[in-house]
């Protein structure tokens, strides 16, 4: 099913990821989308709270991730979502949106969008992509090393149509979901590299167990970040990333 062929809309809900999980358990197919006007329990990475007031685009997509599960490349899913968001923002506003590892979208160095990818059912090949974009809502200080968070409205200086953004984004997501189904995840990695704001920078990565400082050299086939430190090359699967300069 095409991404967004069936959309479930709520004025207010706990979290689009949670509602999508329930719908998947009820047997709805990959491609369905849940959109909420407000989330009362929006979740970010590492179990953080994600502020989700009116005016933002808060949505989740149920994905058929069978090919990436087989190849152990789940990390490609959130990367593809950040590329789709960056392209959609640029298409609507002409702002240069860039992607920051692991899966944020930035405008002028400020975080505009966060993505929460979750594995739902390995056997059935199901994954969830949760996407939160600050569009016309006001934002508070960034919590995860983004010097400041921002909204599209703040950066472009006018209101942006949520409907238009949703429409363009679902198309962009569908295009890349097809690429993943066809086994072309290398094209997604290449696109991410070309949109990257992280590669080539001096970064500090904080994981649950350690801190790594060095130059962000590349991503591997699973989307893990390869960091050149003074004495060795380290591959990081997950963590917070701070751009040091
Ligand atoms: C991050 O920490 O950067 C990821 C934020 C992801 C937020 C989105 S909003 C839609 C979906 N539902 C949630 O509860 N979280 C994700």
Q: Are residues 156 and 216 in the same domain?
A: no
Helices 185-195 and 162-181: angle between axes, nearest 10 degrees: 130
Is 1 inside any structural domain? no
Q: Are residues 189 and 230 in the same domain?
A: no
Q: Is the CB of 192 under 6 A from ligand 1?
A: no
Q: Are residues 144 and 229 in the same domain?
A: no
Is 113 inside any structural domain? yes
Structure tokens at 118: 């979750």
Q: Is the CB of 179 under 6 A from ligand 1?
A: no
Q: How far apart are CA 212 and CA 204, in angstroms?
A: 6
Q: Could you say which DSSP state residue 227 is in?
A: E
Domain count, the chain: 2
Q: Are residues 25 and 94 in the same domain?
A: yes
pTM exceeding 0.85:
yes
Cα 4 to its chain centre, rounded Å, is 17
Is 2 inside any structural domain? no
Region for residue 79 given its phi and psi (left: phi exceeds 0; alpha: psi -120 to 50; beta: otherwise) = alpha
Report, as ranges of residue numbers, the positions in the chain whose pLDDT lies below 50: 145
Task: Collapse the DSSP code of 27 into the 3-class scheme (helix H, G, I; strand E, B; otherwise coil) and give the result.
Answer: coil
Task: Tell me the pLDDT tens digit for each residue of 33-81.
Answer: 999 999 999 999 988 999 999 999 999 999 999 988 888 889 999 999 9
pLDDT of the residue at 137: 94
Distance (Å) of CA 245 to CA 109, 110, 198 = 11, 13, 10
Beta-sheet strand order (sheet of 104-107): 7-13, 33-39, 57-64, 126-133, 110-121, 104-107, 97-100
Beta-sheet strand order (sheet of 225-228): 233-236, 225-228, 211-219, 202-206, 240-243
H helix intervals, 94-161: 152-156
Q: If you measure from the C-alpha of residue 229 to the centroid of ligand 1, how many angstroms do you get, rounded to a whole number?
A: 31
Q: Are residues 165 and 44 in the same domain?
A: yes
Q: How far apart are CA 85 and CA 81, in angstroms?
A: 6
Q: Are residues 117 and 221 in the same domain?
A: no
Q: Are residues 62 and 99 in the same domain?
A: yes
Of 87, 46, 71, 72, the residue nearest 176 (C-alpha): 87
Q: How many helices (H) and strands (E) does the chain have?
A: 6, 12
Q: Are residues 164 and 221 in the same domain?
A: no
pLDDT of the residue at 147: 57
Helices 76-93 and 185-195: angle between axes, nearest 10 degrees: 50
Contact yes or no for 59/170 (Cβ under 8 A): no
pLDDT of the residue at 1: 87
pLDDT of the residue at 178: 94
Q: Is the CB of 130 under 6 A from ligand 1?
A: yes
Q: Are residues 170 and 215 in the same domain?
A: no
Atom of ligand 1 nearest to the CA of 44: 2
Contact yes or no for 54/37 (Cβ under 8 A): yes
pLDDT of the residue at 138: 87
Q: Are residues 27 and 123 in the same domain?
A: yes
Q: Are residues 157 and 94 in the same domain?
A: yes
- Structural domain including 229 reads 202-243
Q: Are residues 155 and 226 in the same domain?
A: no
What sign results for the dihedral spanned by CA atoms 136, 137, 140, 144?
negative
Q: If you measure from the C-alpha of residue 241 to the centroid of ligand 1, how many angstroms do you get, rounded to a whole number?
A: 17
Q: Is the CB of 46 under 6 A from ligand 1?
A: no
Task: Collapse the DSSP code of 102 into the 3-class scheme (helix H, G, I; strand E, B; otherwise coil) and give the result.
Answer: coil
Q: Is the CB of 4 under 6 A from ligand 1?
A: no
């Amino acid at each position: 099913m095409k991404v967004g062929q069936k959309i479930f809309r709520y004025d207010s809900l706990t979290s689009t990821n949670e509602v999508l999980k329930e719908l998947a358990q009820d047997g709805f197919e990959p491609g369905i989308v849940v959109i909420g006007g407000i989330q009362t329990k929006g979740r970010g990475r590492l179990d953080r709270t994600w502020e989700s007031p009116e005016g933002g685009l808060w949505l989740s997509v149920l994905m058929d991730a069978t090919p990436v599960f087989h190849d152990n490349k789940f990390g490609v899913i959130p990367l593809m979502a950040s590329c789709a968001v960056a392209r959609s923002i640029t298409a609507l506003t002409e702002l240069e949106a860039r992607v920051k590892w692991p899966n944020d979208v930035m405008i002028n160095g400020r975080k505009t969008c966060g993505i929460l990818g979750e594995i739902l059912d390995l056997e059935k090949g199901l994954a969830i992509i949760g996407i939160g974009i600050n569009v016309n809502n006001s934002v508070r200080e960034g919590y995860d090393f983004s010097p400041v968070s921002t909204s599209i409205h703040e950066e472009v200086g006018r209101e942006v149509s949520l409907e238009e953004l949703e429409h363009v984004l679902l198309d962009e997501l569908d295009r890349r979901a097809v690429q993943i189904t066809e086994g072309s995840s290398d094209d997604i990695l290449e696109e991410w590299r070309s949109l990257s704001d992280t590669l080539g920078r001096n970064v500090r990565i904080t994981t649950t167990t350690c801190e790594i400082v060095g130059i962000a050299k590349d991503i591997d086939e699973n989307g893990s970040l390869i960091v050149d430190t003074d004495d060795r090359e380290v591959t990081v699967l997950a963590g917070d990333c701070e751009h040091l300069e």
